[in-house]
Amino acid sequence: MTTETVLTNARLVLEDRIVAGSLVFRDGVIAEIAEGNSASGVDMEGDYILPGLVELHTDHLEAHYSPRPGVRWNAISAIQSHDAQIASSGITTVFDCLRLGSDEDDGFRMGEMRAIADAIAKARSENRLRADHLIHLRCEVSASDVLDHFADFQTDTQVRLASLMDHAPGQRQFQTMEQYTLYYKTKRGLSDEAFAHFVNRRQEASAQYSEAHRRAIASACAERGITIASHDDATLDHVDEAVGFGVRLAEFPTSIEAAKASHKAGMSVLMGAPNVVRGGSHSGNIAATDLARSGVLDVLSSDYVPFSLIHAPFVLADEIDDLDLPTAIRLVTATPARTVGLDDRGSLQAGKRADLVRVRRESGVPVVRSVWRQGERVA
């Protein structure tokens, strides 16, 4: 039986303009977009209708699964709690980051991320989830066991994105020891001796493992059609390496030079939406707003604050004169969807999935009033 819903008196945010009009969806798919109000339908009271947001990089699930050091929460409960915040933030497609690679001081035990992936699949099969959940593997290539962790996912079709990361000091995210000291020594309360040992161990592991692991994971992803992301690129050499691996997504470049080169090479440059909302990076790297002003910001991710993904585009549209709201909304909808090959969503077009967000925003922080995924109201 065909089901039809008409949303009228809405401001429809298309990829290139805003239309005052109506939207019709049938059986989970957008059927029609028209200017002007419909004689019948649900009155949107002049609110915005956006495409459902597409989130490519969020560590938020990890915080629910391990809410305190050494604590592990019930996986299904953690996923449902995470999912509720994701959906209520207007995110209808989310790539849950699972961290691969560990040592004695950090990371998860072998098999833990596999168990979470199994729990995501179980929650989906039991219709527990509001958003569409896929998996992003965050591969710490300097870890000795990262290939063992990666092997746990060699047949998992939920995996659609993998990032190649190396957080050793003196490079990429932590180009200076001042940044690394603040982030690790101060945060962990390490003594000078313990911190020196910590740094040496990570630098040695990076030198021993990173290059071989990066190549092995990139090759496996290319064979399986998994989108590859670089992470924290800082130099033109980093960008050239990413091009060689077929990287499509440049996550969190740490220099303007690397961001511009990545964008020019055809990669989508991703930065954190919290960076936009806060007005700068929490780790002292480049500001996402500066990249937007330079025309080299392509994708935003909520990273560690789900609601920032709906908030940040409005901030950018307010603060940058030549960046309008449709352009800002593309950063969290159409462009991330296309980057990972999800061509069935990300924009308000006939034939696309009816993943929709109703937003009221007069000024300041926007309010998410309703969310639909494939035509079903989920928030």
Domain containing residue 332: CATH number: 3.20.20.140
Residue 197 lies in a domain: yes
Residue 3: its pLDDT value, please?
86
Q: Bigger pLDDT: 193 or 236?
A: 236
* Higher pLDDT, residue 190 or 362: 362
Distance between CA atoms of 56 and 336, rounded to whole angstroms? 7
Q: What is the pLDDT confidence band of residue 205, given thresholds at 50, 70 and 90?
A: confident
If one counts the domains in the chain, the total is 1
Q: Stretch 345-358: mean pLDDT, rounded?
A: 98
- Does residue 15 fall inside a structural domain? no
pLDDT at residue number 361: 97
- Please report whether residue 10 resides in a domain: no
Buried/exposed 130-163: b ≥16 CB within 10 Å, e otherwise: bbbbbbbbbbbbbbebbbebbebbeebebbbbbb
Amino acid 184: pLDDT = 62
Structural domain includes residue 3: no
pLDDT digits (tens, 9 = 90+) for 275-297: 999 987 765 678 999 999 999 99
- The CA distances from residue 322 to 19, 65, 280, in Å, are 19, 41, 20
Find the Cα–Cα–Cα–Cα dihedral 29, 30, 32, 37, rounded to 10°. Answer: 120
pLDDT score of 179 more than 70: no
Give the pLDDT confidence score for residue 207 in this predicted structure: 84
Q: What is the mean pLDDT of residues 172-182?
A: 58
Residue 43 counted as domain residue:
no
Does 181 map to a domain? yes
Does the pLDDT value for residue 182 go beyond 90? no
Residue 149, amino acid: H
Distance CA 97, CA 162 (A): 9
Of the pLDDT bands very low, low, confident and very high (cuts 50, 70, 90), residue 248 is: very high
> Mean of the per-residue pLDDT values for the chain?
92
Residue 106 pLDDT:
56
pLDDT at 215 over 90: yes
pLDDT band at 202 (very low <50, low <70, confident <90, very high): confident
Q: What is the pLDDT of residue 190?
A: 67
* pLDDT tens figures, 35-59: 999 988 999 999 999 999 999 999 9
The token pair that represents 341 in the structure block? 């090959």
Residue 193, pLDDT > 60, answer: yes
Mean pLDDT across 82-108? 88
Each residue's pLDDT tens digit, 128-171: 999 999 999 999 999 999 999 999 999 999 999 999 998 777 66
pTM of the model: 0.92
Residue 205 lies in a domain: yes
Tens digit of pLDDT for each residue in 304-329?
999 999 999 999 999 999 999 999 99
Answer with the residue of higher pLDDT: 2 or 67: 67
Contact status, residue 63 vs residue 302, Cβ threshold 8 Å: no
CA distances to 44, 62, 76, 217, 331 from 112, in Å: 44, 11, 13, 19, 32
Segment 261-278 mean pLDDT: 97
62-73 pLDDT, tens digit per residue, is 999 999 888 999
- Is 247 inside a domain boundary? yes
Band of pLDDT at residue 174, cut at 50, 70 and 90: low
Domain around 66: 51-344
